[in-house]
A and B are shown apart, each in its own frame.
Chain A
Amino acid sequence: MKLTLEEVEHIAALARLELSEDERAAFQKQLSSILEYVEKLKAVDTEGVEPMSHSIEIGNVLRRDEVAGCDAATRQRLIDAFPAKEGDQLKVDAVFS
């Protein structure tokens, strides 16, 4: 599976990653060789095999959707971790502009 440079840029756009031109070329080569390696899965007969997303048997866990809150120190640490803020509020770029 050989990826084109356009495909590499398309994946980078989907993944919201900025890549330099050199990185695009390096990733094209490296991702292609990894994809080539995983292609070997095609040789396995999986007719009638159920996909397995989880290794142990567990079911859904349900609980009431209630606000639990947190202590003041935890709240302050969360606010302190904001990359940009106004007062105690998280500041972000406009979603619609």
Chain B
Amino acid sequence: MDLNRLSIKDAAAGLRRGEWTSRQLTEACLAAAEKNRPKTMAFIALDAPRALAAASAADARLKDKRPLSELDGIPLGIKDNIMEAGVPTTASSVILKGHVAAYDATVIRKLKACGAVCLGKTNMDEFAMGSSTESSCYGPTRNPWDVSKVPGGSSGGSAVAVAEGSALGALGTDTGGSIRQPAALCGVVGLKPTYGRVSRYGLIAMASSLDQAGPLTRTVDDAALILRAIEGRDQLDSTSVDLRPEWAVPEKNPESLKGLRVGVPKEYFAAGLDAGVAEAVKKAIAELEKAGAQIKEISLPHTDYALAVYYVLMPSEVSANLARFDGMRYGARVPGGSLEQTYRKSRGQGFGKEARRRIMLGTYALSSGYYDAYYLKALKVRRLISNDFFQAFTEVDCIVGPTSPVTAWGIGEKADDPLSMYLADIYTVSVNVAGLPAVSVPCGLAAGLPVGLQIIGRHFDEKTVLAVAAAYEKRVGWPSPPKV
């Protein structure tokens, strides 16, 4: 048996039965990560001694029959923009190369308290800006289904680690699709929680009104398991909220989807959608109907404006958040003779092209004379997009469609055309704009590459979103793993 290919649930059950140890699981993941590194590079830094020490400590607890949680002893990959004390955390950027995090992000503190084993940091687009994991300063991560293709992004390393068996699960972050889109392109499950459900403390911020951390896993149950471990209000993040009991994600999902109303937005099947993706997604929707769901066509009339809203709001927030990287307190400092020249050289040389492009865009949108036309206008259209969802959720209980309009594309194919790269996020960004929970679940292949089904829910209704994903997964079985 390949221990690195187990689901978290199965791995945890075997740990309790004494069939294997956390050390064996961890060694199997580390070996797969090392072996695949030259081909896919899911991880940019592995910390074997630290991971093995954590695994041994978990084994001692398991032997005493006193595990800390179901995640005790489970090896996970962590995206490089999530701080882990004493471990290099660089957001895959030159400006933070070699930077060692001073403290744990709240999600890391919680995972450690559950006994989870952190294997190392996974590759990502620089500062989570990108949809292909090509803008990393360490070089691109490659898709294990076809190494000439991108894995999606920005959490491409986390998606690949889970797909290829270098980790049993992983954490990513999602600002406009960065968990769901790579999950779709690599054939794994990716969950973006409702804004405010998971603390953002200790994430290297990209766009603070849109960012959320969440799990990438092989099964829907595993995603729920990690969500339960990391969620909850945190004093250190004033935008995190107290969770009501009715928002809890249960251990067991309902047997059927009988009575559930599932909306299919007609705007999500318009021009630009790959025919193979459309076919796979339509087949998946037919499966949901067989599972008892009632399928209804709905309309989200402002869909066409979501990407434009996102590409005003996100860069604006980016330009403010990345102002802290000035070469003074941490990161690389390039002396320039005067304070202003030191700022300009440190930032000019430390940030990659995409980060600078977005900082420039945001600075422009917020600058004197343009604020009303761009930023304020985008905030107003944001409300209209959000209202579309509220309106739809009076008629249906969740919304389904494709996660990405296309399957994985070739490395370098969209490198010189940022706008065409941005269009890959067309179905995912509106979910962040409205702060909703959404999961991407593998729904078959198109021309040999994975396709993702996106399920979007009401605020804090991860329960329904995951129940629908689990019902689908149960009907179609386990997605076959790629061979690297």
Contacts and interface: CB of A to CB of B under 8 A. Distances in A.
Contacts, number: 173
Nearest to A19: B348
Q: Tell me whether chain B's interface is mostly helix, strand or loop, or mixed.
A: helix
Contacts of B238: 58, 60-61
Contacts of A30: 357, 418-419
A64 B347 CA distance: 35
A22 to B, nearest CB: 11
A37 B384 contact: no
Nearest to B364: A11
B195 A55 contact: yes
Contacts of B32: none
Contacts of A70: 103
Given A49-B383, A83-B332, A95 B435 contact: no
Interface string A25-60: 001001101110110111010100111111110101
A41 B102 contact: no
Interface string B395-425: 0000000000000000000000011001000
Given A41-B308, A44-B305, A15 B102 contact: no
A9 B109 CA distance: 43
A52 B382 CA distance: 6
The listed residue with most B CB atoms (<10 A of its CB), out of A3, A13, A15, A19, is: A15
A93 interface: yes
A8 B310 CA distance: 22
A25 to B, nearest CB: 13
B102 A55 contact: no
B101 A77 contact: yes
The listed residue with most B CB atoms (<10 A of its CB), out of A61, A93, A94, is: A93
B377 interface: yes
A54 B313 CA distance: 11
B86 A46 contact: no
Contacts of A16: 323, 326, 340, 343-344, 347
B329 A81 contact: yes
Nearest to A77: B102
Contact of A90 (B304, B311, B328): B328
Contacts of B209: 53-55
Contact of A81 (B308, B330, B340, B374): B330
Nearest to A43: B305
A63 B235 CA distance: 10
Contact of B344 (A18, A23, A46): A18
B48 interface: no
Contact of A31 (B99, B341, B361): B361
Contacts of B261: none
A97 B338 contact: yes
Contacts of B312: 38, 41
B45 interface: no
A60 B351 CA distance: 33
A93 B353 CA distance: 26
The listed residue with most B CB atoms (<10 A of its CB), out of A30, A44, A78, is: A44
B386 A52 contact: yes
B115 interface: no
Given A37-B307, A41-B378, 20 more contacts: A14-B363, A16-B340, A17-B344, A30-B418, A35-B364, A38-B312, A41-B374, A49-B380, A50-B380, A51-B379, A52-B379, A53-B379, A54-B435, A55-B435, A55-B436, A56-B195, A74-B85, A77-B101, A82-B330, A83-B330
Interface of B: 85-86, 99-103, 194-196, 209, 235, 238-239, 241, 302, 304-305, 307-309, 311-312, 319, 323, 326-333, 335, 338-345, 347-349, 351, 353, 356-357, 359-361, 363-364, 367, 373-374, 376-384, 386, 418-419, 422, 432-436, 459
29 contacts: A3-B364, A11-B360, A12-B360, A16-B323, A17-B348, A18-B344, A18-B347, A19-B356, A30-B418, A31-B364, A34-B422, A40-B308, A41-B377, A51-B376, A55-B386, A55-B432, A55-B459, A56-B196, A60-B238, A73-B85, A74-B103, A77-B86, A77-B101, A81-B100, A81-B330, A82-B329, A82-B330, A83-B330, A97-B339
Interface of A: 3, 7-8, 11-19, 23, 27, 30-31, 33-35, 37-38, 40-42, 44, 46, 49-56, 58, 60-61, 63, 70, 73-74, 77-78, 80-84, 90, 92-95, 97
